[in-house]
Structure 1
Amino acid sequence: MPIKRIDVKRKRYQEAKEFMNIICNHIDKLGPFNYDHPCYHQPCLEAIRQDAYEVVDEILSRSPGLLRGREYSFIKLAASNRADKIYNLIYHLNVRMDEYRRYEDNDENNILHMVGKLAPQHILSHTTGAALQLQRELQWFQEVEKLMLPKDLVSYNANMETPQMVFSNQHAALVKEGEQWMKTTSESCSITAALIVTIVFAAAITVPGGNVQETGIPLFRKEIAFIIFAVCDAISLFSAASALLVFLSILTTRFAEMDFLVSLPRRLIIGLCALFLSTASMMVAFSAILFLVFCDQRPWMLAPIGGLTCMPIAVIVTLQLPLLVDLFKSTYIPIFVTYSDDPQVPCYFIFGDSLVDCGNNNPLDSGWKANYPPYGIDFTKGPTGRFCNGRTTADLIGEYLGFDEFIPPYATATDKQISKGVNYASGGCGIRKETGSHNGGRLSLDIQLNNHNSTISRIATIYKNTTFLKECIYLVNIGSNDYINNYFMPEHYKSRHVYTEDQFAKVLMKEYSQQLMSLYKLGGRKVALFGLTQMGCTPYMVNKFGTNGKQCVESVNDAVNLFNAMFKPLVDKLNNNIADARFTYINTSGILYPQGEVGMRTPPCCKLGGDWPCAPNSDPCAIRALSIFFDALHPAEVSNIAMAARAYKALLPTDTYPHDIKHLTTLSLNKTT
């Protein structure tokens, strides 16, 4: 029957997952809300309340932008309902703690005040016993406490209470209940231990069979059964005495809050284990002497004696083992995931244009700059040269890879920083050397590769070793400007007069493949190539060419798709011809515009100061989490979150080819001589 019930539950679980996938697929078809689908919000909140990890994981993988702007409400809900799996999931998604720990509710409670409040009764009831309930509450409080700033630990709410004061006041009754539970359990077990000590001590001094009168040596000392009796009786006596002392130490403790975290549960575990051992040893000792004295060495009597011996052992194990298991799991198996401090790869190098630029254009005489407000309004360091309100796709992937700091720009990278990676990306640049030249200085991909060569020389000089570079991740996101600021700008460039759209795509891909071979010769072995987005859907291209009643400029998207179609053959060719390297393609258009759907025509979040950039010091839109584009060309952070999430861990088989970045980090490459 138990096995049948397990099969039924497993079947129901699989049916529920299939049903969830069907619902999510239908929701995804309701509209192109790739970043923050409104239909997912309430189900996600309810799933957090229920600690339904699989549901939340599925929703966030389909709509990563759902987190943006709601971190505090999600974390608060997970903490209030003690949803540890959801808390671990959100923490793993690299939501920065400083984005929500500063928030306070109407009573000036920060997140630690919230966790200090007593969990609802239906949540507490999931844990056995008041002592273990209090232990779980302490574990939650300490986990969130580690992530708070020192000043937040002693901050007062509207009732003039610190988080610790809130915890103590809210859990005072639970401490009393835990104390009573501990005392009752210890008293019961200590009585049992005392009885065992009395019995086995009496058996030890009253030796079965008697002694030799002259020497006092037991008559049965050479019998195997007697030796078993003696050993087991001694084990039972010592373990029962130890258990008795442990239970007495519990009864005489002060029962402070923190004692329930490790000290008291650990003592109870030791006491119960010693009690189990003494009980089992006592029964074996009794069975051995029973066989020796009354069974006249008949082997067949071992079976009934063994069966009778197992009965009391089975009873105590059946009744007390679940408590012991709960104590062990609650004390020594952490509910919060501890992630390694080391990144998944030794270093991370970034090549590309303004989609991943982090400030390399700042020192240049260039119109391709974003080192002024409102750019960086949601970035921890403010305006840095990122063409975004917050983090770029490259920044977010760096967080997924486990890097604590953002990869520095080549323009300012120090000797200490370069071993972890460098960002060479430059706004306005392209695969072709002339791309973007009409608007001033920029660093083409060829120049970026030369800069990387210089970095390798610096690393070799400083660290005397460059072999680790073969294990690094190399991200390349470039090509958009070759269309926007080259091919579709015939007033400045000749490419459109010389090439058809198909010819230009082939010429561009040929030059790109040569540059990727140069990257390979410079040590690049794990390379992620980002395809181009549907640039005909950007506000800039829509305003420039018009759409003839369509959502996007279809002629621009058609030209871009010719180039994107060449990525998979390029990746196959490189992987087949180069045994010790792996290239992978990130299907940008497929991720942001699934099944060929075009994006919603949304205006830029910021006020424009020209054709595409934000006007300096202008006020951007208030709810940036709902904006696809920050300026007329560049995506807002919420779009980058969606892109990075599925580039790192693919949701659909069409997202990446042949691997996502997470898989790319784990690949073992063949070594060539």
Structure 2
Amino acid sequence: MPDIVFDFLHRFPCMATKTDDVLKSNALIRLSTSPQIFPSASRLAFWEQFFCTCICSQPIVASNDTVRIYVPAQSLRESKNIVLQVLSQLQAFAKNLFTFLGIKQIYDLKKIHIYSDKILRCMCEYISTLDYEEQLKASVPAAFHSAVKNGTVEFIMEMIKACPHVIICTDENSRTLFMSSIANRQEKVVSLIYGLEASRSGFVSLIDSSGNTMLHLAAKLSPPSQLSRISGAALQMQRELQWYKEVESIINPTDKDFPNVKGQIARELFTSDHEDLLVKGEEWMKATATSCTVVGALIITIMFTAAFTVPGGHVQANGYPFLKDKESFTVFIISDAISLFSSSASVLMFLGILTSRYAEEDFLISLPTKLIIGLSTLFFSIATMMVTFCAALMIIVDGKMQIIIPIVLVACIPVTFFMLLQFPLLVEIFVSTYGPGIFNKRMKRWY
């Protein structure tokens, strides 16, 4: 389908701004409301991004010639030639394998990205030939601000290159490009400000129709669609604080205490808008800490008991373990001690979370750091507890591998479950707390 659209627009570029009588829209506006077909909206995993980079696609070249498609009378599978039938079977197997591994979906997605870029460039090339009145009639500013709200970075960049004046045009709330992107929490669009050759001072001191500065817009609660992307009310509160701090760092210091039409400064607006989220963040953090404290306390009890009930028993004369010289016993004692100490540290961290004051600023660094340390040490204590258990069984069964190997494999199940359930959350907290930040301040010059 995208190839047909591209070919059609290449032959009739004027159709990009042709308004539909029923939908009261045109192709340009429809493209601006479709961020999912552009790379900036793709949320691929690391391995998916790697495959997407490695996949080679044929260059797309538009042609004005008439295209003829030859359809064979019979397929390869229906052919009587054995070689062709084998090739057909291999082709079907490869196709099913790529579909199962997800490679075909990634290839199709990359193909859509390439065609969407070609379609966008074709539209912008035609729009650049129109005068200002014709651009207004074609709803170019409306399409531009629609792309800003949806975070379609590619659309915004190409539109500014084709029509430079749209960078200063405002929407229905008198908000410019970067003000609207802050209000809609589109960090990739805000990052474009770091790739401008011009000074940023002309964009950071403006106000909208309600007298709000960029910092006021950052102080408001994010749209529900953006908050739902973040797991946990505490991390949502952290992201809101990060947005406020990032915008505060780029505006003029004199605008921090600038009141809007309601007489509110940005900090007051932030506190009033985030009261409910602050309470929910406290509840989420306490519930998580309470659950993990129970698990840590159980591990402490088990490991403390195991240290005094060593397998093999003790020598009655001196109290030393019978098997103290065996390597498996050394592994048992070391892993037991590590599990006990790490679980104790985990419980102390979670107790620190439960007794925190839960001020707004605590959600930025303090509470997430305690949660990172608590979850990390709890995971380490669970892993070493399984090692302790396996070492004790090795001592009891006296090296019978036909028993040890299945037990070790089964012991890996709870560790794997914990990694699948809690490790992604741990990574998310770590990246959001100590990552590079919301905005890409190293963006290359693009205009």
Distance in 2 (CA, whole Å) between partners of 1:154 and 1:173 is: 24
Q: Check conservation: 1:34, 1:62, Cα contact below 8 A.
A: no
1:6-85 to 2 correspondence within 5 Å?
A: 7-29=104-126, 32-33=129-130, 40-69=140-169, 73-85=176-188
State the identity %.
36
Rounded Cα–Cα distance in structure 1 between residues aligned with 2:100 and 2:424: 19
CA gap 1:16/1:43 in 2 versus in 1, 3 angstroms: farther
The 1-side partners of 2:267 and 2:247 are apart by 12
| CA contact 2:144–2:166 (8 Å) conserved in 1 | no
2:262 counterpart of 1:162: no
1:200-219 counterparts in 2 under 5 A?
Answer: 200-219=303-322
- Closer, same or farther in 2 for the Cα pair 1:208/1:130, shift >3 Å? same
State the structure with more CA Rg: 1
Please report the RMSD computed on the Cα atoms of aligned residues, expressed in angstroms: 2.5
Give distance in 1, aligned partners of 2:334 and 2:157.
Answer: 55
Which residue of 2 is the match for residue 311 of structure 1?
A: 413
Question: Within 5 Å, which residues of 2 pair with 1:61-460?
Answer: 61-69=161-169, 73-293=176-396, 295-333=397-435, 334-339=437-442, 400=445
SS at 1:196's partner residue? helix
Residues 31 and 258 from structure 1, CA distance in 2 versus in 1: closer, same or farther, beyond 3 angstroms? closer
- Note closer, same or farther for the CA distance 1:173–1:288 as it changes in structure 2 (3 Å cut): same
Deviations 1:375-431 (A, max 9, x none): xxxxxxxxxxxxxxxxxxxxxxxxx5xxxxxxxxxxxxxxxxxxxxxxxxxxxxxxx
Query: Within 2, Cα distance between the matches of 1:199 and 1:62?
Result: 68
Report the count of equivalent residues.
343
Contact 2:205 2:252 (8 Å CA) reproduced: no
- Shift of the 168–31 alpha-carbon distance from structure 1 to 2, 3 Å rule, reads closer
CA gap 1:142/1:291 in 2 versus in 1, 3 angstroms: same
For residues 315-360 of structure 1, what are the alpha-carbon distances to aligned partners after superposition, in whole Å with 9 as ceiling and x for unaligned?
11111112112111211222212349xxx9xxxxxxxxxxxxxxxx
3-state SS of paired residue (1:212)? coil
Structure 1 pair 23–52 and aligned structure 2 pair: CA distance change class (3 A): closer
Matches within 5 A, 1:497-536: none
Which 5+ residue runs of structure 2 have no aligned equivalent? 1-96
Cα distance, 1:176–1:95 mapped onto 2, change above 3 Å: farther
Structure 2: distance between partners of 1:34 and 1:279: 68
Matched residues in 2 for 1:55 and 1:13: separation? 17
Q: Which runs of 5+ in 1 are unaligned?
A: 345-399, 401-643, 646-673
Letter in 2 for 1:211: H
Which protein is richer in helix relative to its size? 2
State the secondary structure of the residue aligned to 2:205. coil
Superposed displacement of residue 194, structure 1: 0.4
TM normalised by structure 1 equals: 0.48
1:54-110 Cα distance to aligned partner (Å, 9 max, x none): 333333344444324559511111101110011112332245332133222233221
Distance 1:172 1:280 in 2: 39
Relative to the length of structure 2, the TM-score reads 0.71
Give yes or no for contact 2:349–2:370 (8 Å, CA) kept in 1.
yes
> What SS does the aligned partner of 1:100 have?
helix
1:248 offset after TM fit, Å? 0.1
Please show how residues 653-664 of structure 1 align to structure 2 within 5 Å: none
Cα distance change on mapping 1:65 and 1:159 into 2, 3 Å: closer
Q: How many angstroms does 1:314 deviate by? A: 0.7
Residue 157 (structure 1) shift: 1.6
Q: Matched residues in 2 for 1:34 and 1:276: separation?
A: 63
| Cα drift, residue 44 of structure 1 | 2.7
Kindly provide the amino acid, as one letter, of the partner of residue 323 in structure 1.
Answer: L
Q: Deviations over 1:170-202 (max 9, x none)?
A: 001100000000000000000000000000000
Deviation at 1:9, TM superposition (A): 4.3
- Asked whether the equivalents of residues 190 and 244 of structure 1 are also in contact (C-alpha less than 8 Å), the reply is yes
Q: Could you report, residue by residue, the CA deviation over 1:215-273 in whole angstroms, capped at 9, with x for unpaired residues?
A: 22111111111111111111100000000000000000000001111111111011000
Residue 3 of structure 1 and its aligned partner are, at CA, apart by 5.8
1:33 and 1:324 mapped to 2: Cα distance?
Answer: 52
Is 1:37–1:66's contact at 8 Å kept on the other side of the alignment? no
Q: Compared with structure 1, are the counterparts of its residues 157 and 308 closer, same or farther at alpha carbon in structure 2 (3 Å cutoff)?
A: same
For 1:146 and 1:19, the matched residues in 2 are separated by 35
Q: Distance in 2 between matches of 1:125 and 1:95?
A: 35
Q: Kindly indicate whether the alpha-carbon contact (under 8 Å) linking 2:311 and 2:392 is maintained by their aligned counterparts in 1.
A: yes
Higher relative contact order (CA 8 A, sep 6+): 2
Q: Is the CA contact 1:287–1:309 (under 8 Å) kept in the aligned structure 2?
A: yes
